[in-house]
């Protein structure tokens, strides 16, 4: 299972979609709902539409509460198929881009489902797509004596976070953790960490417990507890 996860998690889209840039590139056909205001009425309508969409997505996953996402609509998916992020996209899908949280969400209003979630690179030029060799790099540590709990947690996380890539899976230094702990190890992983904690009924903490070793080459550490 782990081999397959690594194979499928190798190529992950890392994007920054700034609508003003995308509108100037003929190979992308987007309708951007967050134009600079031309009138108070249009601005209010756009804001209301975005808020309603964000509220729908927030019922399906944890989204950043401290920023307003950039919103775009896929209108010609045939021109986007070469990009991994849009492999399962359909015309009418919405893209929510959280630049501060470094996260992009592909959402399908027609069936009310999240299609894809991917990290974005805040340091890339506007409108520039790129790839990385890994997705969300997650290290799992079993903080219990039950190996089945570790496997169950891995399956839940990889099923929920399509871009997840398991970097390591081992026993924690302690096997008496009651609650599952999720530790974001790199910048921009707070939202994904919160989503993982929600799936595993765990808690996000800021620092790796003193008894544990900080894993190398991982974005998130998940320590499995008995109550997940």
How many angstroms separate the CA atoms of 34 and 19, rounded? 8
Number of folded domains that form the chain: 2
pLDDT of residue 70: 78
Q: Which of 97, 132, 167 is the last residue of a domain?
A: 132
pLDDT of residue 104: 86
Strand residue runs (E) in the chain: 12-15, 30-32, 70-74, 94-98, 103-108, 113-119, 129-132, 136-142, 164-171, 181-184, 203-204, 220-224
pLDDT of residue 182: 95
pLDDT of residue 30: 35
Cβ pair 53, 69 in contact under 8 A: no
C-alpha closest to that of 129 among 119, 139, 138, 142: 119
For residues 19 and 102, state if they share a domain.
Answer: yes
Longest pairwise C-alpha distance within the chain: 62
pLDDT of residue 44: 59
Q: Which of 81, 114, 132 is the last residue of a domain?
A: 132
pLDDT of residue 39: 42
pLDDT of residue 179: 94
Assign 49 to helix, strand or coil: helix
Number of H helices, E strands in the chain: 5, 12
Backbone angles phi, psi at 18, to 5 degrees: -100, 120
Question: What is each CA distance from 150 to 33, 135, 162, 191, in whole angstroms?
Answer: 42, 20, 18, 22
Cα angle value 112/116/122 (rounded, 5°): 125
The list of the chain residues with pLDDT below 50 reads: 1-40, 42, 121-134
For residues 104 and 119, state if they share a domain.
Answer: yes
Sign of the Cα torsion 116, 119, 125, 128 reads negative
Q: Which of 83, 102, 132 is the last residue of a domain?
A: 132
For residues 53 and 166, state if they share a domain.
Answer: no
Q: Which domain holds residue 88?
A: 9-132
Question: What is each CA distance from 184 to 6, 84, 102, 218, in whole angstroms?
Answer: 20, 25, 13, 9
pLDDT of residue 188: 77
pLDDT of residue 132: 34
Cβ pair 79, 69 in contact under 8 A: no
């Amino acid at each position: 299972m782990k081999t397959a996860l690594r194979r499928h998690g190798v190529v992950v889209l890392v994007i920054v979609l700034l609508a003003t840039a995308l509108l100037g590139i003929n190979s992308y056909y987007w309708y951007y709902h967050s134009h600079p205001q031309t009138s108070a009425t249009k601005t209010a309508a756009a804001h209301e539409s975005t808020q309603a969409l964000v509220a729908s997505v927030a019922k399906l996953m944890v989204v950043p509460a401290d920023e307003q996402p950039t919103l775009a609509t896929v209108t010609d998916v045939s021109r986007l198929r070469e990009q991994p992020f849009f492999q399962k996209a359909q015309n009418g899908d919405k893209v929510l881009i959280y630049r501060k949280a470094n996260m992009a969400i592909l959402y399908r209003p027609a069936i009310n489902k999240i299609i894809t979630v991917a990290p974005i690179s805040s340091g890339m030029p506007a409108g520039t797509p790129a790839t990385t060799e890994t997705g969300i790099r997650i290290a799992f540590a079993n903080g219990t004596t039950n190996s089945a709990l570790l496997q169950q947690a891995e399956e839940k996380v990889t099923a929920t976070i399509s871009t997840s890539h398991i970097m390591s899976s081992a026993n924690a230094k302690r096997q008496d953790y009651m609650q599952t702990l999720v530790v974001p190890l790199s910048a921009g992983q707070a939202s994904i960490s919160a989503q993982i904690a929600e799936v595993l009924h765990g808690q996000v903490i800021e620092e790796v417990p003193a008894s544990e070793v900080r894993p190398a080459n991982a974005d998130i550490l998940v320590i499995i507890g008995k109550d997940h």
